């Protein structure tokens, strides 16, 4: 639980010891929880897909910049080609992020503001449950936060601007949404007298140049690959329709995923940061958290007027949200705010229970179970291997990057696997070992399997065999495997249009 707020002022030695003990206890508990969850929960489809990227480190990929592939590459060399190895650096990043939030929070008024901010950050449901996942949002969030941490010091020691620039560049190599950090930083600097003075020095511009130089690695890769990732990601920006229903969905989802208690406190922190924007005491961090977030928030709101905002997109902003929530709490000895702060960490406890449940090999629920999507993949791979052997298949083809990634992550599948459609995803990666001149087996979910479309890609398509993953509950656990032969020339170049 969050410690009660204290009046602002320098901490006593006893307070300092209690803070260090509290921080170490928090970090130890988080490390134990996340390491156990990272090793015990099977990979998601996206993580398995990024694992394949990591087998051939590049400066760019079809869907995203390269950072998550680099992290997975490093992690599996330390902890093996396992779920823990894939997730090792994201787990470490979550602990570093907690330290950074703590340190930034210590600059807010209040003796325990840092610990409060760190607790509230980890109490957000997305961070509590999702920070173990090897997805691009995790490195993007770490480097975004590291840039804020460096900028907070740069106004006192300008050399930190170089660290801020490097962190911003690495954030852009993680996910393109980090590009919104630059206008946010300029907005924050332009809004404060000390920031305007900094803008008249070379340091912020050197930082911008450093960020651009680092990001240029991915720009160069895109230039050599027909702007593949840029076309995919920036193609979402343009509005083709007006659908404001997504705005309510976005706001409602974020209210829940932030943890409603944290979200309400953050709203109060926004009001306080704005109200005290001209004061000298403690407003710098709160105002920085607010203003650096505004350009990205504005884009998300605009995007939600014509298309769905995925739940994880705003995650780089969550550290700033936690700092604003802590700002609302510090100095409030009475009233609803301390109570909200004390109960907010229940979100972390609930997520810990959820992570433990997802690591169970079998469902405990009698009907549908959201965790079923993670279960049953080793047995499914063995079934696919068995059907393939029965039909003399030399390879396994999939019609989904997720199925392809998860099958290849299972030791029970020895046949080489290849995704037959969306071949752009595999641009610049080593060619598949699948020899399509030989008979193969195509596997996909039963609900989207279309033999008629598959016949446009193969001379022969045999009768499909139904196979079941896990308990077979729901359409996402029923698959079919069809023997094929006589692949169309150039299939691995042009892809197989199956209408999926």
Which of the 8 DSSP states describes residue 485?
A: E
Least trusted range by pLDDT, from 50-54, 65-69, 357-361: 357-361
Q: Are 301 and 247 in contact (CB under 8 A)?
A: yes
What is the mean pLDDT of the segment spanning 54-78?
Answer: 96
Which pLDDT belongs to residue 3? 42
Per-residue model confidence (pLDDT) at position 341:
82
Tokens of 159: 């050399």
CA distance 309 to 252: 11
**Structural contact between residues 248 and 303, judged by C-beta atoms closer than 8 angstroms:** no
- Give the model's pLDDT for residue 418: 95
Q: What per-residue confidence (pLDDT) applies to 334?
A: 67
Distance of alpha carbon 498 from the chain centroid: 29
Distance CA(348)–CA(363), nearest Å, equals: 22
Per DSSP, what are the bridge partners of residue 468? 478
Look at residue 47 and tell me whether its pLDDT is greater than 80.
Answer: yes
How many Å apart are CA 425 and CA 436, to the nearest integer?
A: 18
Strand 458-461 relative to strand 478-487: parallel, antiparallel, unpaired? antiparallel
| Per-residue exposure over 11-22, b if at least 16 CB sit within 10 Å of its own CB, e if not | beeeeeebbeeb
For residue 54, CA distances in Å to 70, 74, 87, 317, 434 come to 6, 9, 12, 27, 19
- Evaluate if residue 435 carries a pLDDT over 90: yes
Q: What is the pLDDT of residues 380-424, one digit of tens each?
A: 999 999 999 999 999 999 999 999 999 999 998 999 999 999 988
**pLDDT for 7:** 41
Whether the per-residue pLDDT at 113 is higher than 80: the answer is: yes
- The vertex-151 CA angle with 186 and 338, nearest 5°, equals 100
Ranking 119-128, 298-307, 447-456 by mean pLDDT, the lowest is 447-456
Please report the sign of the dihedral spanned by the C-alpha atoms of residue 239, residue 242, residue 245, residue 247: positive
Residue 374, classed as helix, strand or coil, is helix
Handedness of CA 24, 27, 32, 35 (dihedral sign): negative
Mean pLDDT score across all residues of the chain? 90
Distance between CA 179 and CA 333 in Å, rounded? Answer: 39
Q: What is the pLDDT of residue 283?
A: 62
145-196 per-position pLDDT tens digit:
999 999 999 989 999 999 999 999 999 999 999 999 999 999 999 998 889 9
Closest by CA position to 153, among listed 199, 95, 107: 107
The total number of residues shown for the chain amounts to: 500
Q: Give the β-pairing of 478-487 and 396-398.
A: unpaired
Task: Give pLDDT, residue 1.
Answer: 38
Overall average pLDDT of the 452-457 stretch: 89
Alpha-carbon distance of 9 to 325, in angstroms, equals 19
């Amino acid at each position: 639980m969050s410690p009660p707020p204290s009046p602002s002022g320098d901490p006593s030695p006893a307070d300092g010891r209690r803070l260090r003990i509290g921080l170490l206890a928090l970090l130890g508990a988080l490390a134990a929880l996340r390491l156990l969850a990272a090793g015990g929960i099977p990979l998601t489809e996206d993580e398995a897909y990024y694992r394949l990227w990591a087998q051939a480190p590049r400066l760019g990929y079809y869907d995203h910049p390269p950072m998550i592939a680099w992290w997975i590459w490093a992690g599996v060399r330390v902890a093996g080609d396992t779920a823990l190895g894939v997730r090792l650096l994201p787990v470490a990043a979550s602990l570093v992020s907690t330290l950074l939030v703590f340190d930034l929070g210590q600059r807010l008024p209040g003796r325990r503001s840092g610990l409060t901010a760190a607790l509230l950050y980890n109490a957000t449901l997305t961070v509590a449950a999702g920070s173990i996942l090897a997805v691009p949002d995790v490195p993007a969030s770490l480097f975004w936060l590291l840039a804020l941490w460096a900028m907070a010091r740069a106004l006192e020691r300008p050399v930190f601007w170089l660290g801020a620039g490097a962190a911003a560049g690495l954030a852009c190599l993680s996910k393109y949404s980090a590009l919104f950090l630059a206008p946010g930083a300029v907005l924050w600097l332009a809004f404060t007298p000390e920031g305007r003075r900094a803008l008249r020095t070379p340091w912020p511009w050197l930082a911008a140049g450093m960020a651009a130089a680092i990001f240029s690695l991915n720009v160069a890769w895109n230039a050599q690959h027909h702007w593949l990732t840029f076309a995919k990601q920036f193609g979402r920006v343009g509005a083709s329709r007006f659908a404001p229903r997504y705005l309510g969905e976005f706001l409602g989802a974020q209210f829940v995923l932030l943890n409603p208690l944290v979200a309400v406190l953050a709203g109060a922190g926004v009001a306080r940061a704005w109200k005290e924007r001209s004061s000298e005491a403690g407003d710098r961090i709160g105002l920085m958290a607010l203003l650096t977030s505004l350009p990205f928030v504005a884009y998300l709101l605009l995007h939600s007027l014509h298309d769905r905002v995925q739940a994880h997109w705003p995650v780089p902003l969550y550290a700033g949200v936690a700092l604003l929530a802590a700002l609302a709490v510090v100095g409030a000895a009475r009233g609803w705010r301390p109570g909200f702060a004390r109960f907010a960490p229940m979100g972390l406890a609930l997520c810990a229970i959820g992570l433990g449940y997802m690591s169970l090999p079998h469902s405990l629920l009698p009907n549908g179970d959201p965790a079923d999507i993670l279960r049953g993949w080793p047995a499914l791979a063995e079934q696919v291997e068995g059907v393939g052997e029965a039909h003399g298949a030399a390879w396994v083809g999939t019609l989904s990057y997720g199925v392809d990634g998860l099958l290849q992550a299972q030791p029970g599948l020895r046949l080489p696997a290849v995704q037959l459609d969306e071949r752009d995803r595999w641009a610049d990666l080593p060619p598949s070992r699948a020899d399509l001149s030989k008979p193969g087996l195509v596997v996909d979910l039963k609900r989207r399997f279309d033999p008629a479309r598959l016949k446009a890609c193969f001379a022969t398509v045999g009768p499909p065999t139904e196979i079941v993953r896990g308990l077979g509950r729901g359409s996402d656990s029923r698959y079919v495997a069809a023997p094929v032969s006589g692949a169309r020339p150039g299939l691995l170049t042009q892809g197989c249009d199956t209408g999926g």
